[in-house]
Amino acid sequence: MKTKIFCRRFIPILLLPLLITGLCFTSSCEQKDKATIAEEGYKAIDSAYVEFRAGNNEASKSISHQVLTNARDISNDSLAGRALMSLCRTALRDRDTIALQDYSVQLADLTEKTGQDVWMMVRAHMNAEMNRMQGNLDEAAALYDESMAIAKSIGSLGMYAAEHFNKSFIAVEQGEFEEAAKLIKGYFDIMKERNPDREDAYGLIALVNFLSKQDDLQGAATVAYTARRLFEQENIVPDPADETPMAAAELRVEKELALKVRDSILENTKTLKVSNLLERYLD
């Protein structure tokens, strides 16, 4: 039986991973001033994110729990929120609904304490992701809408874009392909607005899913091969809720397209860019 997450209240807010390989954040808070502890805590959370992206969930959790403890010791609510966000991420990868419910309550408490809606946005996003992975599409859609509304109100353009990406998967599952195309295009438009000089490879996951579910397997293969090449170049590891539909589309390609066809497509994707694919499949 599927467990529904009713706690209301992010594709994860993307952190800029630092090249930190060790955790220099100890529990000896009393020996350091609060500013130093906080500085070390933010570095440690970035280290936890690096571990998460590398697939080291237990290491990421261990770091995040220590940061959360120390953040509360020095009453640093922002750092505590970042630690809770990190723990939500690992709970999603573990599909641990009980842990996510616990962190969701703590995020709600943090919002009530600080008056900062960003933590409710995180809560909504994380629960939407869990519901989407479990197939609870209506619940997921409502939570993505909640996250999107908060993101717009507080000026979080990154999250506002991310929820366009996320909602496209629900639209596709419900057969609303025109709506899905609008959402995917909206995502890329916002990301372009944020950084005109950078092409966003991550959003290609939504395009792979969009094409596969319409049985355009050659198109799905073209986008998937390009995406995986760019992911390797940019050291991108998809989040759990996004890797699942990507992998499913790739499995269809492998099973339903002849090897010779796949090899030909792969050869023709070696120089393709994100913009080439958007022009081909969305314009």
Task: With beta carbons less than 8 A apart as the criterion, state whether 78 and 110 touch.
Answer: no
* Nearest CA-CA partner of 224 in 189, 253, 199: 253
* Full set of structural domains in the chain with CATH: 11-103 (no CATH), 117-198 (1.25.40.10), 201-283 (no CATH)
Residue partners of 40: CB distance under 8 A and separation at least 6: 24, 25, 32
Spatial separation of the C-alpha atoms in residues 209 and 173, rounded to whole Å:
10
Amino acid at 7: C
Spatial separation of the C-alpha atoms in residues 205 and 122, rounded to whole Å:
21
pLDDT in tens, 20-63: 333 344 444 555 789 999 999 999 999 999 999 888 999 999 99
pLDDT in tens, 148-166: 999 999 999 999 999 999 9
Spatial separation of the C-alpha atoms in residues 66 and 46, rounded to whole Å:
13
pLDDT of amino acid 2: 39
Q: How many CA atoms lie within 13 A of 179 on its CB side?
A: 11
pLDDT of amino acid 29: 52
pLDDT of amino acid 241: 81
Residue-wise pLDDT tens for the chain (283 aa)?
Answer: 434 433 333 334 333 333 333 334 444 455 578 999 999 999 999 999 999 988 899 999 999 999 999 999 999 999 999 999 999 999 999 999 999 999 999 999 999 999 999 999 999 999 999 999 999 999 999 999 999 999 999 999 999 999 999 999 999 999 999 999 999 999 999 999 999 999 999 999 999 999 999 999 999 999 999 999 999 999 888 887 889 999 999 999 999 999 999 999 999 999 999 999 999 999 8
